[in-house]
């Protein structure tokens, strides 16, 4: 059986944090489109160079490129049993493309936790977010600061502020989310797979609430 969980929510809602926890708990790969783009930027690939021009502006990377990238990722052997998607789909066209990909894999969208957080909280979170260069560990200078200023607790690498987490771009990203991604809430509600989760809560509590709505067929 192929299981698909889609983490839905605005930038800064905590999709990545929760996806990582779920990934450990369920033994399914965490696939973050943003992380794949950042990896490509780090390695200076053509895809990375192209994606960067959109990401730095807080815009979405075009659908065709993003869809092809995720299709390739889903074809890897570690996705045999299912996936936890974080940051994809982000537009109705991506949602349709995903449904086709899942059909081919013998799967369907099983659960969409929608992590709900007020805009003011999102802005605060993103502007205080620092990310580790090596593996993307995340800190918040107010709520979960690193032990040593600007150094990752886990691997000692430098922490940096993502270009798109800077104040001007954050506002733009939230606008883009409202316009292009928020329609997916209705879409998945109509499909009967959406679960509303309060994201303005401790990390452990958000995780507990997501686990509580996992369909019974998903063992954990």
Shortest Å distance, C-beta 217 to ligand AMP: 26
Q: Which residues contact 30 (CB under 8 A, 6 or more apart)?
A: 16, 19, 20, 22, 23, 84, 86
β-bridge partners, 186: none
Sign of CA dihedral 101, 115, 126, 57: positive
The span of 54-62, 136-144, 197-205, 212-220 binding ligand AMP (CB under 6 A) equals: 54-62
Closest C-alpha to 8, from 116, 114, 99? 114
Q: Please tell me the distance from the alpha carbon of residue 127 to that of residue 146, in angstroms, as a whole number.
A: 16
Among 9, 10, 11, 111, binds ligand AMP (CB under 6 A): 11
Alpha helices for 106-155 (secondary structure H): 119-127
Q: Which part of the chain contacts ligand AMP (CB under 6 A), choosing from 22-30, 72-80, 85-93, 186-194?
A: 85-93
Contact call for residue 37 and ligand AMP (CB under 6 A): yes
Q: Element (H or E) spanning 175, and its range?
A: helix 167-176
Q: Kindly list the catalytic residues.
A: 15, 90, 129, 162, 173
Q: 10 Å Cβ neighbour count for 174?
A: 18
**Least CB distance to ligand AMP at residue 144 (A):** 18
Choosing from 5, 61, 210, 214, the residue that interacts with ligand AMP (CB under 6 A) is 61
CA 86 to chain centre: 3
Q: Take residue 154 and report the two structure tokens written for it.
A: 């886990």
Taking CB under 6 A as the rule, does residue 55 contact ligand AMP?
yes
Which is nearer to ligand AMP, 58 or 82 (by Cβ)? 58
- Give the number of residues in contact with ligand AMP, rule: CB under 6 A: 17
Residue nearest to ligand AMP as judged by C-beta position: 34
Is the CB of 171 or the CB of 208 nearer to ligand AMP? 171
Instruction: Answer yes or no: are the C-beta atoms of 50 and 69 closer than 8 Å.
Output: no
If the CB atoms of residues 110 and 125 are measured against ligand AMP, the closer one turns out to be 125
* Residue 97 binds ligand AMP (CB under 6 A): no
Binding stretches for ligand AMP (CB under 6 A): 11, 33-34, 37, 54-55, 58-61, 66, 87-88, 90, 94, 164, 173
């Amino acid at each position: 059986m192929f299981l698909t969980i889609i983490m839905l929510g605005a930038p800064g809602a905590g999709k990545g944090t929760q996806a990582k926890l779920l990934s450990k708990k369920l033994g399914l790969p965490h696939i973050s489109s943003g992380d794949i783009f950042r990896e490509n930027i780090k390695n200076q690939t053509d895809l990375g160079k192209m994606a960067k021009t959109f990401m730095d502006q807080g815009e979405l990377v075009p659908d065709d490129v993003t869809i092809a990238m995720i299709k390739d990722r889903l074809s890897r052997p570690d996705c045999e049993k299912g996936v936890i998607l974080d940051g994809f789909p982000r537009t109705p066209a991506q949602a349709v493309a995903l449904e086709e990909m899942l059909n081919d894999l013998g799967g369907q969208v099983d659960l969409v936790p929608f992590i709900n957080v007020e805009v003011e909280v999102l802005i605060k979170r993103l502007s205080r977010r620092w990310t580790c260069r090596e593996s993307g560990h995340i800190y918040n200078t107010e709520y979960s600061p690193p032990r040593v200023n600007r150094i990752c607790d886990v691997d000692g690498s430098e922490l940096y502020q993502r270009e798109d987490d800077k104040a001007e771009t954050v506002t733009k990203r939230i606008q883009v989310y409202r316009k292009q991604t928020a329609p997916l809430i209705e879409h998945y509600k109509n499909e009967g797979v959406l679960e509303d989760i309060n994201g303005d809560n401790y990390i452990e509590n958000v995780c507990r609430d997501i686990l509580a709505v996992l369909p019974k067929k998903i063992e954990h």
